[in-house]
Amino acid sequence: MFTAGAESLLRQARELQDEDLQKFCSRLRKLLQKDPGPEATDTLQRLFFIVSATKYNRKLEKTCVDLLQTTLCLPTCPEQLQLLCAAILRERSPCDSLSLSCDHIQNTRQLSLVASVLLAQGDRKQEVRNVAQCIFKVLESRQPEGPSLRPLLPVLSKVTSLAPGSLHEDQTRLLNKRLVDWLRYASVQQGPTHSSGGFFSTPRARPPGPITEVDGAVATDFFTVLSTGQHFTEDQWLNVQAFSMLRAWLLHSPEGLGAPDADDKSELEGSTLSVLSAASSASRLLSPQEQLREKAFEYCQRLVEQSNRRALRKGDADLQKACLVEAVLVLDVLCRQDPSFLYRTLSCLKALQARLCEDPTHVRALLPLAQFFLNHGEAAAVVSGAVYQHLFTRVPSEHFHSPELAFEFLQLCRDSLPLFGRSLGVLKLSFPNLFKFLAWNSPPLTAEFVALLPSLLDAATAVEMLHALLDLPCLTAALDLQLRLSPAASERPLWDASLRTPSCLEASRDPQFQGLLQHLLRAKASGTAERLAPLHQLLQPMASCARVVQCAEAVPTLLQVFFSAVTQFADGALTNQLALAILERSDSLYQVPEYEARVHRWVPCWPPMGLRPSWFHWPLHLACHTPIPHFVLSYSTVTAGAIPRLRRGAIQTPPSAMSSVPCEEDMGAVRTRATELLNLLKMPSVAQFVLTPSTEVSEPRYHRDTNTALPLALRTVSRLLEKDVGLLPG
C-alpha cells in the first residue's frame, strides 16, 4: 500500500516515545515564540505527521497546545502556519484544554480554520451553534467589497449537517436568498487578467472575454460549475461552492427537514395535479425556500444539458461525469420535497436515460438515475424497466473491476430493497452478475453481501446460488482471465503481476471450454448447475493468485449466511437438494490453497450454523440408505474416498425415495434398512464398537436433541471409517 520509505517513516512516527515527543515540542515552542520562519514551518509539518500517524491521541504539553492556538489566532501569522496549527489541533480533538473562540475574528479564512477546529470537538459546549452564529454575523454584515465568503461556505455546510436546528428562521431565509443569487446570477464574463507588472506589460488591460462551455463554444446561458474560462470572478467561485453545498442544505436545512416526502404525496406524482401545482407556483410570490428550489431545478437542468457536450480536456470530461451524478441526486431531493417538480423532471430524465444506456463512460450516473426511479415509484415506471435491465445485466459484467462503482452499486441494492417492488425479481435473477463484484472485490464487499444475500434468495434459485458460492474463487480466476484477454489493454485494471503469462491463456480459447466459461460468466440465473471440473483444471495455474485466495477465504462466511437464510423458507424437497449438492461438490471444488479444507471443516457444523434439526429427517436418510451400509461394510478401504462415494451413492437414489410423504415403498425401505443394520452387527468389530459406546451416549441430552446427537454420531462414524484409529471407544 505504501512504499518502503513511507512505511519506515510511519513506523518511526508511531514508535516515537513520549519523552522524545516532549523534546520535539520544546524545540517547536522556541521556534514559534520567535518570528516564525521556514524552520518553524518544517517543524510543524513534522509534528502534524507524528500526531496523524496513529489513531491514538499523542500527549502534547499544555504550553505547546496553547502556543498553537495563539499562533492560529494571530492576524499577522502566515497562512501556511495557520493551516498547520489548525490541522494539528483537529488531529488532537476532542481536547479538554482548548480555549479557542471565533467571536472576534474578522478574517474569513482565519475564521474558517478556527471553526473547523471547534467543529472537530463535537458539540460538548454548543460549539456548533456558536460557530453558526459567528458565520452568520459575517454573512449579514458583509458589504459588496468586503471579505470573501468562500472559506466560510464549507464550514456552513458542515454546521447544517451537524445541527440543523442551530439556525434561526431569519438566518435560513437569508442563506436561501444568498444561494439563489450565487446560483443564478453569477457573471457570464471572465475575471480580469492579473498583470505581472513587468516591463512588457501593457498599460491598458484587455477586457475580459465571455465564459465558454466545455466544448469551447461561447456560453449563451447562465454560469455553472461546468462553465470554463481563464480567470473567474468572486461571484463565480461562490457559484461553484454554492452548488457543492446545495444538496446538503436542501436535505438538512430547517425547512428541508419539514418538507413532505415523496411517499406522502404519491397521489400528485405523474398526475395532472403535478402540472397544476407547477403552474400555480409560477403565478404566486415564492418564498425564499421555494425560490431556491426553483433555481436549483434550473441549475440542474442546465448541467444535464452541458453534460451532453464533448469536452476538450480530460479534466473537464471527468468533471462532467461528477456534476451529472450530483445533478440527478439534487433533482431527486427536489422531487421528494416538492412533487410538483416531478412532471418537469421526468421529461428531462427520459432523454438522459436513453443517452446514458448508450454511453459506457457515464455508467456511474445510472446509479442515481435508478435511485430516482425507485424513489418515485409508479410515476417513473414508464422508463424504470429499461434502466434496471441495463443496470443489472451490462454494468456488473463490464465494470466489475471498478471498486468505487461496485461499492455504490451494492449500496444502492441494499438500501433500496423495500423500493424495488416488482423489479425485485430482476434483482434476484441477476445474482450471478452481482457475484462478479464480490468475486473481484471480496475483502471490502463481503460485509455488503452478508447484508444483501438473504434478499437475493428464493426457492427457485437456492441450489444454483449454492453452486455459485462454491465456485466463487473459480469465478475470480475466470474474470482475471477475461481481463487478460481483453483487447482494450489501456482500460484494463492491474492484476496479480506474479502470474505474467498463465498457461491457460491460450487454452481458454478452445471451443470445449467456451461453453463452461460462458456459464460461469453468465449474467442471469439459468436454472441449471454445470459441472465445472474441466474448467477447474484449466484455471488451476491461477489458483494461487492473491485475489483468488482472498475470495476463497470469504466463502465460508457467505455459506453460513446462505444456510441461515434458507432455513426461513426451505421445505423438505429443497433441503434434500441442498444437502445432496453439498455432497456432490465435496470433491469437486476449485483447488485453491486451503479452500477445500475450509469448506470441509464447515460442513460438519451445519446445525450450529442455523440448520433446523428437521433438516435431518427420515426422507434424507431414506435417500441415502443405500450408500451408507456400503461404506460401513467396506470401511477398511474407503478412508480417503468416503465422502465422494457417499455423494455418488446419494445421486443414484431413485426419485421415489425423495418423497416427503411416507408410503408403502418407504416402509419397505425402512425394513430393508433394519435388516442391513442387523447384518452389520454380526461383524465382530462393529458389534464391539456399537455395543460398547462411549460414556457420552448415556447422557439423556444426546437422545432428546438432534442438534446435540448429530456431532457425536458423526464422530462415531468417522472413527469407524479411519484405518489408524482403534475401534474401542475412548
User: What whole-number distance in Å separates Cα of residue 424 and Cα of residue 456?
Assistant: 9
In this predicted model, what pLDDT tens digit does every residue of 328-349 receive, in sequence order? 999 999 999 998 898 889 888 8
Domain match, 261 and 376 both: yes
- Residue 135 placed within a domain: yes
Last residue within a domain, chosen from 402, 436, 458 = 402
Query: Rounded mean pLDDT of 537-564?
Result: 89
pLDDT-based confidence at residue 511 (cuts at 50, 70, 90): confident
Out of 67-71, 78-82, 354-358, 505-509, least confident range: 505-509
In terms of residue numbers, what domain contains 371?
168-193+212-402
- Residue 132 placed within a domain: yes
Whether 23 shows a pLDDT value over 50: the answer reads yes
Domain match, 113 and 9 both: yes
- Residue 373 placed within a domain: yes
Per the prediction, the chain carries an average pLDDT of 77
* Residue 649 to residues 343, 361, 625, 631, 699, Cα–Cα distance (Å): 63, 52, 9, 10, 33
Query: Rounded mean pLDDT of 544-548?
Result: 89
- Residue 486 placed within a domain: no
User: What whole-number distance in Å separates Cα of residue 75 and Cα of residue 79?
Assistant: 9
Neighbour-count burial for 476-494, b at 16+ CB within 10 Å, e otherwise: bbbbbbbbbeeeeeeeeee
* Nearest alpha-carbon partner for 334 in 410, 397, 249: 249
Domain match, 47 and 100 both: yes
Whether 196 shows a pLDDT value over 70: the answer reads no
Report the pLDDT value the prediction gives residue 323, as an integer from 0 to 100.
94
Report the pLDDT value the prediction gives residue 576, as an integer from 0 to 100.
82
Domain match, 134 and 226 both: no
Most confident of 148-152, 204-208, 221-225, 507-511: 221-225
User: What whole-number distance in Å separates Cα of residue 223 and Cα of residue 213?
Assistant: 9
pLDDT-based confidence at residue 7 (cuts at 50, 70, 90): confident
Report the pLDDT value the prediction gives residue 622, as an integer from 0 to 100.
42
In this predicted model, what pLDDT tens digit does every residue of 349-374 receive, in sequence order? 888 888 888 888 888 999 999 889 88
User: What whole-number distance in Å separates Cα of residue 668 and Cα of residue 388?
Assistant: 53
Domain match, 104 and 235 both: no
Most confident of 166-170, 279-283, 432-436: 432-436
Domain match, 278 and 137 both: no
Last residue within a domain, chosen from 402, 428, 451 = 402
Domain match, 184 and 154 both: no
- Residue 465 placed within a domain: no
In this predicted model, what pLDDT tens digit does every residue of 116-158 receive, in sequence order? 888 888 777 777 888 888 888 888 876 656 668 888 888 888 8
Query: Rounded mean pLDDT of 626-638?
Result: 42
In this predicted model, what pLDDT tens digit does every residue of 652-682 receive, in sequence order? 544 444 444 456 676 777 778 777 777 777 7
How many domains does the chain fold into? Answer: 3
pLDDT-based confidence at residue 190 (cuts at 50, 70, 90): confident
Whether 686 shows a pLDDT value over 50: the answer reads yes
- Residue 649 placed within a domain: no
Share of the chain above pLDDT 70, in %: 73
Cell (9 digits) for 28: 517547536
In this predicted model, what pLDDT tens digit does every residue of 696-705 receive, in sequence order? 666 666 666 6
Domain match, 71 and 157 both: yes
Whether 45 shows a pLDDT value over 70: the answer reads yes
Report the pLDDT value the prediction gives residue 611, as an integer from 0 to 100.
41
Last residue within a domain, chosen from 367, 402, 437 = 402
Report the pLDDT value the prediction gives residue 274, as an integer from 0 to 100.
47
Query: Rounded mean pLDDT of 371-398?
Result: 78
Domain match, 98 and 121 both: yes
| Residue 159 CA neighbour count, 13 Å, CB half | 28
User: What whole-number distance in Å separates Cα of residue 252 and Cα of residue 716?
Assistant: 63
Report the pLDDT value the prediction gives residue 191, as an integer from 0 to 100.
79
Whether 637 shows a pLDDT value over 70: the answer reads no
Domain match, 183 and 128 both: no
Domain match, 72 and 109 both: yes
Domain match, 152 and 172 both: no
- Residue 463 placed within a domain: no
Amino acid at 481: L
Report the pLDDT value the prediction gives residue 97, as an integer from 0 to 100.
75
- Residue 574 placed within a domain: no
Burial (CB count within 10 angstroms: exposed 0-12, middle 13-18, buried 19+), residue 10:
middle
Amino acid at 334: L
